[in-house]
């Protein structure tokens, strides 16, 4: 009697007495492939991205570096600053107090004023002229004298001109000591009055005419006063007492400073920033670097994926054939 049994074993087939087994059939779970007596299947995973430099951002490694500086076009480096300069010719101007004319720069400068006497000579604050006049001479006779018709000063005086022998004294002399007149005595003048004329020089009186004064030196003087005239020291009128001064133009910079014969404006300009590599994020220069993919242990990077294998025990199927009287068990 022959019976056939099918047994599914995990592992190897077991031969029993009176039974015959077929070669085992290995069956792998879904997705696995039999490799020898082992079931295998390939596994893939995304690699982990790491950065050897910089910080991971998305699929890139980003590094930040300070911005570089440079001077804008048309400027020059001066330390940490940039300098720009502009030159232009100066303008012609007149010095302070001068005005521009065809002749150059002119200014009226005052001259000294002087006080002069157009008439006379200066005495104090006035001008004085002197008018002279002769004395007014008057003559008169001294007191007691009269002016005669023919001129001259005369004075008549009477006096006693009785002779010495006349009068009592004279008679006494004639009578003698006895007091008797001599027989031959004649009549005599007892008192005689005489008249005499006495001449005297005129008294001269000198006086100055009305309005004149005797200065004791030059006779009679009358002073006339005139105002002092104010004139310019150059002989012109006081209202036009100035001289015109002409000077050449001056060179001046309306802006900037004079450098040689040119005006120069120099300004300081902040340097501009730029990124030699990468891009500017507003604060720094950002440069992107490739990431480094890393696979978990046991996986191998292949074509951008982490590739590995997973194993499993296959299911083993063995066919048993039984012969003999005991096959029904």
DSSP lists the bridge partners of residue 196 as 157
Q: How far is CA 101 from CA 73, 181, 243, in A?
A: 44, 135, 15
Instruction: Name, in order, each residue with C-beta under 8 angstroms of 41's C-beta and a sequence gap of 6 or more.
Output: 31, 32, 33, 309, 310, 312
Note whether 161 and 193 are within 8 A (CB).
Answer: yes
**How many C-beta atoms surround the C-beta of residue 160 within 10 A?**
9
CA pair distance 68, 82, nearest whole angstrom: 14
Compute the average pLDDT of residues 36-58: 89
- Determine whether 117 is exposed, middle or buried from the number of CB atoms within 10 Å of its CB (0-12, 13-18, 19+): middle
In eight-state DSSP terms, residue 291 is: -
The model's pLDDT over 236-251, given as tens digits with 9 standing for 90+, comes to 888 889 998 999 988 8
**How many C-beta atoms surround the C-beta of residue 311 within 10 A?**
12
Tell me the domain boundaries of the chain.
Answer: 1-28+314-329, 136-207
* Predicted pLDDT of residue 5: 42
Write 213-220 long-range contacts (CB < 8 A, 24+): 214/135, 218/132, 219/132, 219/133, 219/134, 219/135, 220/132, 220/133, 220/134, 220/135
In eight-state DSSP terms, residue 264 is: E
Residue 327, SS3 per DSSP = coil
In eight-state DSSP terms, residue 37 is: T
Share of the chain above pLDDT 90, in %: 23
Record the tokens describing residue 186, joined without a space: 């004649």
* Predicted pLDDT of residue 184: 58
Q: Does the structure show a pLDDT above 80 at 189?
A: no
Q: Tokens 């005239």 — which residue? A: 229
* H-assigned helices in the chain: 167-175
Where does the pLDDT of residue 298 fall: very low under 50, low under 70, confident under 90, or very high at 90 and above?
Answer: confident
Instruction: Give the best-scoring range by mean pLDDT among 100-114, 169-183, 188-202.
Output: 100-114
Sign of the C-alpha dihedral computed for residues 225, 227, 233 and 235 taken in this order = negative
The model's pLDDT over 7-35, given as tens digits with 9 standing for 90+, comes to 444 444 444 555 677 888 989 998 899 98
């Amino acid at each position: 009697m022959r019976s056939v049994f099918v047994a599914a074993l995990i592992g190897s087939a077991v031969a029993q007495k009176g039974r015959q087994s077929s070669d085992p059939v290995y069956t792998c779970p879904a997705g696995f492939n039999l490799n020898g007596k082992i079931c295998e299947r390939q596994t893939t995973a995304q690699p982990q991205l790491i950065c050897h430099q910089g910080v991971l951002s998305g699929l890139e490694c980003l590094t930040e570096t300070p911005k570089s500086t440079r001077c804008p076009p048309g400027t020059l480096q001066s330390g940490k600053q940039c300098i720009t300069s502009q030159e232009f010719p100066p303008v012609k101007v007149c010095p302070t107090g001068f005005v521009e004319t065809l002749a150059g720069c002119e200014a009226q400068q005052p001259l000294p004023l002087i006080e002069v006497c157009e008439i006379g000579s200066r005495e104090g604050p006035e001008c004085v002229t002197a008018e002279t006049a002769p004395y007014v001479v008057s003559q008169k006779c001294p007191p007691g004298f009269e002016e005669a018709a023919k001129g001259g000063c005369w004075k008549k005086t009477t006096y006693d001109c009785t002779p010495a022998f006349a009068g009592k004294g004279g008679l006494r002399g004639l009578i003698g000591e006895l007091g008797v007149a001599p027989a031959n005595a004649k009549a005599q003048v007892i008192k005689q009055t005489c008249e005499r004329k006495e001449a005297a020089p005129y008294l001269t009186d000198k006086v100055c005419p009305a309005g004149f004064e005797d200065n004791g030196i030059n006779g009679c003087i009358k002073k006339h006063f005139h105002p002092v005239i104010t004139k310019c020291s150059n002989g012109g009128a006081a209202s036009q007492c100035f001289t015109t001064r002409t000077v050449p133009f001056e060179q001046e910079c309306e802006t900037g400073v004079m450098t040689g014969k040119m005006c120069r404006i120099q300004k300081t300009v902040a340097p501009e920033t730029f990124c030699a590599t990468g891009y500017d994020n507003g604060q720094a220069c950002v440069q992107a670097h490739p990431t480094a993919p890393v696979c978990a242990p046991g996986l191998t990077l292949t074509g951008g994926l982490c590739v590995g294998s997973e194993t499993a025990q296959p299911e083993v199927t063995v066919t048993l054939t039984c012969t003999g009287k005991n096959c029904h068990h």
